[in-house]
Amino acid sequence: MIKRYDLIVVGAGPAGLSAAIEAAKNGLKPIVFDENAKPGGQLFKQIHKFFGSKEHKAKIRGFNIGDELLREASENGVEVVLNATVIGLYDGKEVTVKIGEEILHYKGDSVLIATGASENMVTFKGWTTPGVIGAGAAQTMMNLHHIKPGNKVLMLGSGNVGLVVSYQLMQAGCEVVALVDAAPRIGGYGVHAAKIARCGVPFYLSHTIVEVTGAEAVNGVTIAKLDENFKFIEGTEKTFEVDTVCVAVGLSPMSQLLKQAGCEMKDTPGGFVPVCDDSGATSIPGIYAAGDVAGIEEASSAMIEGRMSGARIANYLGYLDEDALQARLAELEQALSSLRKGMFAPENRGKLVTKTEEGIDTSMSLLEKGYVADDEIEKYPGVTKGSGVHPVIECTQNIPCNPCQDACPKGCISIGSNITSLPVVKGDVACIGCGMCVASCSGQAIFLVEDDIGDGYGTVTLPYEFLPLPEVGQKGIALGRDGKEVCKAEVINVRSSTAFDHTHLLTMKVSTDMVMKARFFKAE
Amino acid sequence: MIDIQEKLKEIGPYVEAADDDVLVCRCEEVTKGEIRQAVHAGMFTMEEIRRYLRSGMGLCQGQTCGKLVKGIVARELKVSPLEIEPATSRAPMRPTEMRIMAQDGGGANE
């Protein structure tokens, strides 16, 4: 008996599962193979809240999105086979799968490749020393296996992966000694950089690793500044005592199966990818690609691409008529294009965007040091003054994200129909200090500030995601956006709520003249 | 089609570099210097380098070093990495024990 399926999906990550769900909803019988012991791809390592809007599952943490996908897959009868490694894709859409001690053959009327990507590496002296690890490996250790990768870590790479993993390393109790990137500017979202900068992590842009030392394991790392030709400038070396060096220098699509199958491929600066249309159809009828394997993006867009491929495949096999397909694709296309807007849109990759869509100067301090300078912050529309408690939204880059707009029960925050617009605080609405906006911001960029609570003091309420949670009455130091000490602080309230989803709201008392500077609490 | 002799003249002779001893392919223990020398011996494509040095033929199947090797070859040839002809993709995509391969009954396992 030939095991035959309407759709064979390779890879049970966000793209593959979404495609299988979409196909199954249209009546197809899909099977999903994944070489890992657990489904979900990288989603279960993502403990941060996602960006985007409601339709992109914004402000939901990645692993919860993973759970939702798995539930949806099982409700729709998607068969997921784990520990199943697809090792070949042949003519007639036949795949060979290694399961246990056997190699099994399956045939699909359609095949979707959603194998994702693997981490890039860089070579430097000592890069093979135990303790030099990929950022993805660090995430796997921390967030899947609950193992601390090291105690003192240097992160190489300031893209979103480097930034997000640096923060997670700190959450796991590691000390991140520095974040280093050969590029002259931080590659990832400013809000991700700002939340590590205010904890005191220094950024070294235009720097890279000269050497890692240690015979049996990493015991130190030396970095140096680079000139315009990416050559080390002598005399700029800095050495850090670390036991771990984390590398986050990009991803490459794992597209080998598509190439083996004979799909037309193209080599791009982003990796070796199949030539395919918007819904992932490759040059071979019936073979599709979705997610990172078709071009590196992130999980939110991978899920939409998967749905598009799923719908297209349903049409290809006659389960969905052309009109219904076009309607569905238009809907998904809109969701996808909104994610590809703003300062980090694909067409802006590598470019310096000097002004926001609102015409405000981009903070160069944010791009080069990881934080908006104190004298720049008031230029942005979310940063307002007022008597009584009020939100201060330090969102300064046009990124596709808008959960804050729906968070305020009083409707005091507005982004409007353009998802990348900077949030505006409406002056005529009274803030009740509920903190829903603070917890809703995936970038942890919203603070509640009250200038004057008497005796020369004011308060700052900040999102706090570290353990142990400080206690009311605890004294410490308020750190500025640059992570440097600004004044003494006392915790006067700590709020936790299911609605905040593990983002705690810490309110600290600081002197009134420091309420616009103090952005983090460090226990003494 | 690149004229190998012309290209070799253009790139000049192999000159030793300080970081030639850095391992690039960890699985098969191939160094940067070996890859550079291979280019000067006339290996200009990923397929040739792979057959000549076994880089990318180990446990990770070039997942880690593929891009690095390509970069080294491109720099040596003074071209963009996009111009380097990629290697062929072949099954098995992942390391598979011969014992298991031998049991692949083909049609019988369909």
Chain B contacts of A88, Cβ < 8 Å?
A: 91-93
CA distance A516 to chain B (A): 46
Q: How many residues does chain A have?
A: 524
Q: What is the ipTM of this complex?
A: 0.93
Pairing verdict, β A424-425 and A413-414? antiparallel
Cβ within 8 Å, pair A123-B24: yes
Question: Considering only alpha carbons, which residue of chain B is nearest residue A99?
Answer: B100
Pairing verdict, β A84-90 and A79-81? unpaired
Place of tokens 């193209």: A266
Chain B contacts of A108, Cβ < 8 Å?
A: none
Dump pLDDT digits (tens) for A264-295. Answer: 999 999 999 999 999 999 999 999 999 999 99
| Residue among A204, A243, A249 at smallest CA distance from A224 | A204
Cβ within 8 Å, pair B23-A123: yes
Which distant-in-sequence residues (6+ apart) come within 8 Å of A346 by Cβ? Answer: A340
Dump pLDDT digits (tens) for A231-244. Answer: 999 999 999 999 99
Separation CA A235–CA A325 (nearest Å): 61
pLDDT classification of B3: cutoffs 50, 70, 90: confident
Q: For residue B105, is pLDDT > 80?
A: no
Separation CA A524–CA A475 (nearest Å): 7
Chain B contacts of A90, Cβ < 8 Å?
A: 91
Dump pLDDT digits (tens) for A100-127. Answer: 999 999 999 999 999 999 999 999 999 9
Cβ within 8 Å, pair B96-A125: no
pLDDT classification of B107: cutoffs 50, 70, 90: low
Question: Considering only alpha carbons, which residue of chain A is nearest residue B65?
Answer: A121
Q: For residue A2, is pLDDT > 80?
A: no
| A190-197 helix and A160-171 helix, angle to the nearest 10 degrees | 30
Interface residues from chain B to A (CB-CB < 8 Å): 19, 22-24, 26, 32, 61, 63-68, 81-82, 86, 88-94, 96, 99-101, 103-104, 106-107, 109-110
DSSP assignment of B45-61? SHHHHHHHH-TT-STTT
- Cα distance between the two ends of chain B: 42
The reported pLDDT for the residue numbered A387 is 84
| Residue among B110, B102, B89 at smallest CA distance from A93 | B110
| Residue among A167, A142, A5, A140 at smallest CA distance from A79 | A5
Once rounded to an integer, what is the mean pLDDT over residues B4-22?
94
Name the residue facing A2 among B19, B23, B110 (closest C-beta). Answer: B110
Name the residue facing B91 among A88, A124, A125 (closest C-beta). Answer: A88
Burial A412-428 (b: 16+ CB within 10 A, else e): bbbbeeebbbbbbbeee
Separation CA A70–CA A341 (nearest Å): 28
Separation CA B51–CA B53 (nearest Å): 6
Q: How many residues does chain B have?
A: 110
Question: Considering only alpha carbons, which residue of chain B is nearest residue A255?
Answer: B89
Question: Considering only alpha carbons, which residue of chain A is nearest residue B94?
Answer: A87
* DSSP helix/strand/coil, A409: coil
CA distance B97 to chain A (A): 9
Instruction: State the amino acid at position A393 in one-letter form.
Output: I
Once rounded to an integer, what is the mean pLDDT over residues A417-440?
92
Cβ within 8 Å, pair A103-B103: yes
The reported pLDDT for the residue numbered A21 is 98
- Reading the block at residue A457, the tokens are 């003091």
Q: For residue A70, is pLDDT > 70?
A: yes
The reported pLDDT for the residue numbered A429 is 81
Cβ within 8 Å, pair A88-B63: no
Q: For residue A1, is pLDDT > 90?
A: no
Domain ranges of chain B: 4-82+92-104
The reported pLDDT for the residue numbered B103 is 83
The overall average pLDDT reported for chain A is 96
Q: Tell me the Ramachandran region of residue A192: left when phi exceeds 0, alpha when psi lies from -120 to 50, beta otherwise.
A: alpha
Once rounded to an integer, what is the mean pLDDT over residues A162-186?
98
pTM: 0.95
Interface residues from chain A to B (CB-CB < 8 Å): 1-3, 35, 85-90, 96, 98, 101-107, 118, 120-125, 127-128, 252, 254, 256-257, 259-260, 265, 267-269, 271-272
Q: Cβ(A310)–Cβ(A18) under 8 Å?
A: yes
Determine what percent of chain A is predicted with pLDDT higher than 70. 100
Q: What is the CATH number of domain B4-82+92-104?
A: 1.10.10.1100
Q: Cβ(B40)–Cβ(B14) under 8 Å?
A: yes
